[in-house]
Amino acid sequence: MPRSRKNRTVVFRLTQAEYDRVRLACDAAGARTLSEYTRSELLDGCETDSQGSTNLKRFHAIDEKLEELKGMVKRISERVAPDAQ
């Protein structure tokens, strides 16, 4: 798949603390460059679903984890007090 030519620039300033946080996240993600990492993260944050909601994937992941936790709590409660249902 051919790569699109990147011919637009976005510039924004960070505090040193913000820069350090982004740099650490970049290193943890294993990105080649800070520019590559920030571009990727920014574009991921802009993705929308058919209703225009942002970060929908993150909300779904959180919802799935909550459902897992509810199931675990229910199973634990049943073991602790099996007759209290």
For the chain, which residues make up each domain, given as ranges? 9-46, 52-85
> pLDDT, tens digit, for every residue of 58-72?
788 899 999 999 999
- The model's pTM: 0.53
The pair of three-digit structure tokens given for residue 57, joined into one six-digit string: 């994937």
CA geometry: angle at 22 spanning 17 and 23, to 5°? Answer: 95
**DSSP one-letter code for 32:** S
Q: Are 66 and 73 contacting, i.e. CB atoms less than 8 angstroms apart? A: no
Confidence of residue 35 (pLDDT cuts 50, 70, 90): very high
pLDDT value of position 70: 96
Burial of 35 (0-12, 13-18, 19+ CB in 10 A): exposed
Confidence of residue 45 (pLDDT cuts 50, 70, 90): confident
What average pLDDT does the segment 76-82 reach? 88
Residue type for 36, please? E
